[in-house]
Amino acid sequence: MSGFLVRRLAGLALTLLAASLVVFLVLQVLPGDPASLMLDAQARPDTLAALRHQLGLDRPAWLRYVTWIGGLLTGDLGQSYTYSVPVAELVGERMMVTLPLAVLSIVLSTGIAIPVGVLGAARRGRPADTAAMGLSQFGMALPNFWLGILLILTFAVALPILPAGGFVGWDKGIWAGLRCLILPSLALALPQAAILSRITRSAVLETLGQDYVRTALSKGLSGQAALWRHAVPNALIPVVTVIGLQFSFLLAGTVIIENVFALPGLGRLVFQAISQRDLIVVQDLVVLLAGSVIVVNFLVDLSYRALDPRLSAQDGP
C-alpha cells in the first residue's frame, strides 16, 4: 500500500508540474500586455516602462516561471497585477462562494440521485421506474446554464422569491448567503443527478443479480434487506467513481453558472483575470483547479481500495 502511495504521489506531483508548465507557456504567447491595460490608452512609453518594471514583467520568462513555482512550493501565490494584493487573498475570498456552491451541488445531486436510483432498481420496470428514468433522460440533456435561466425565470421573475443573481455576502447571515446559492446549485446539481441516478440504478441492478445476493434471498432474506444490506453498499464503487468524475465537470460548470448568476466566485475571477491579462492569477487558478481535480481523482482511487478489499490486496492500479 505504501509503495503504491509513493508512486501515485510522485505521479501526482509530476502531473501538477506539467500542468503548471503548460499553463505558463500558453500564457506567454497570449497577446496583450497587462501593463498597458492597467494604464490609460493615452499612457506614455516611460510610464508604461516604469509600471512593467514594478510588476517584474521586464524579467526573462524562465526567471518568472522559476520564481512563480518557487513561490507556489512555499505557499506564496504571488501578487495580482491588477488588484495589487496577494493572489491567495483573492482566491480565499472567491472560494467562499465557489466552494459552498460546489459542495451544495454535490450534496444535492447525490441526495437526489441515490434514492431515485435505488428506487428505480427496486421497482424495476414499474411506472415509478419508467417515470424516473424518463425524467433522468431529459435531465441529462439539459444544459445547466439553460436550466439556470429557467430557474431564474420561474423563481426570480415569475414568482420573485429568490434572487436572480448576485451574492449578498456571508456577513448578511448564513441564510441570506444560501438564498443566493440555491438556484445556481440546483442548476448544477439536477443534470448531474440525472446521470448519477442512472448509474446508481444499473449498479444496484448489477449487484442484485450477483450470486451472493441470490443466495441470501434464497435463504429467506427479505427483498428490502437484501437491497439495503448487500446490493446498495456494493453498488457504491461505480457511484463514487462517477461522483469523483463529476467533480471536474462541476468545476467547469461553476465557471459558466457563476456567469449565469453573476456570482463573485473563482470562475468569474478566471474570466476577469484572463481579460485583464492578470497572468499570475490565471496561472495560479488553473493550477489550483487542475490540482484539485487530480487530488480528487486520487482520493477516489483510494476510496475504491477502502470499498473493495480485492483491489488493495493486489496493490497496483
Partner 1 sequence: MSRWRNRNLLIGGAITLAILAIALVSLAWTPYPPTRIDIVHKLATPSAAHWFGTDPFGRDVASMLMAGARSSLSVALIAVVAGAGIGIPLGALAAARGGWVDALLMRATDLAFAFPALLTAVMITALAGPGAFNAMLAIGLFNIPVFARVTRGAALAVRERDFVMAARATGRGEWSIMARHVLPNTSAVLLVQITIQFALAIIADAGLAYVGLGTQPPFPSWGRMLNDAQTYIFRAPLLAVFPGLAITLSVLGLNLLGDGLRDALDPRLTARR
Partner 2 sequence: MKRLAAVLLALSALSAPAYAAKDSITLGMPLEPPVLDPTASAAAAVKEVTYGNIFQGLARITEKGEVAPLLAKSWAISPDGLTYSFALQTGVTFHDGALFDCSTVKFTYERAAGPDSTNSQKAFFEPISSIACPDPATAVITLKRPTGLFLNNMASGDAVMLSPASVAGDKTNPIGTGPFVFKRWIKGDRVELERNPHYWGTPVKLASATFRFISDPSAATAAILAGDLDAFPLFPSPESIDTLRKDPRFAVVIGTTQGKTIMSVNDARKPFDDVRVRRALAYAIDRNALIEALGGLGKPIGSHFIPGNPGYVDLVSTYPYDPEKAQKLLAEAGVKPGTEMTIKLPPPGYARRGGEVIAAMLEQVGLKVKLVPVEWAQWLDQVFKQSDFDLTIIAHVEPNDLEIYARDKYYFNYNNADYRALYHKFVETTDNAARLDLLGQLQRKLSEDEPNIFLFALPKVGVWNAKLTGLWHDQPIFANDLSNVAWSD
Q: Which of 205, 237, 300, 311 binds partner 1 (CB under 8 A)?
A: 205
Chain residues 112-131 in contact with partner 1, contact rule CB under 8 A: none
C-alpha 102/C-alpha 36 separation (Å) is: 35
Does 294 sit near partner 1 (CB under 8 A)? yes
Does 31 sit near partner 1 (CB under 8 A)? yes
- Whether the CA torsion 196, 199, 205, 209 is positive or negative: it is negative
The alpha-carbon radius of gyration of the chain (Å, integer) is 24
Chain residues 54-113 in contact with partner 1, contact rule CB under 8 A: none
Does 259 sit near partner 1 (CB under 8 A)? yes
Q: What are the two backbone dihedrals, phi and then psi, of residue 86, each rounded to the nearest 5 degrees? A: -60, 140
Does 19 sit near partner 1 (CB under 8 A)? yes
Does 18 sit near partner 1 (CB under 8 A)? yes
Does 157 sit near partner 1 (CB under 8 A)? yes
Number of CB atoms found within 10 A of residue 230's CB: 19
**Please, which residue, 57 or 164, has the CB nearer to partner 1?**
164
95, 128, 237, 287, 292 from 299: Cα distances, Å: 21, 35, 13, 18, 10
Minimum distance of partner 1 from residue 67's CB (angstroms): 22
**Please, which residue, 205 or 216, has the CB nearer to partner 1?**
205
Residue with cell 470562475: 267
Does 146 sit near partner 1 (CB under 8 A)? yes
Number of CB atoms found within 10 A of residue 60's CB: 8
C-alpha 141/C-alpha 149 separation (Å) is: 15
Chain residues 169-198 in contact with partner 1, contact rule CB under 8 A: none
Select the binding partner of residue 163 from partner 1, partner 2, none (C-beta < 5 to 8 A, by kind): partner 2
C-alpha 87/C-alpha 281 separation (Å) is: 6
C-alpha 317/C-alpha 304 separation (Å) is: 11
- DSSP 3-state assignment of 85? coil
Select the binding partner of residue 150 from partner 2, partner 1, none (C-beta < 5 to 8 A, by kind): partner 1
Does 140 sit near partner 1 (CB under 8 A)? yes
Q: Which residues contact 223 (CB under 8 A, 6 or more apart)?
A: 122, 217
Q: Which of 2, 29, 73, 309 binds partner 1 (CB under 8 A)?
A: 29
> Applying CB under 8 A, which residues contact partner 1?
11, 14-15, 18-19, 22-23, 26-27, 29-31, 137-138, 140-143, 145-146, 149-150, 152-153, 157-158, 164, 202, 205-206, 209, 248, 251-253, 255-256, 259-260, 270-271, 274-275, 282, 286, 289-291, 293-294, 297
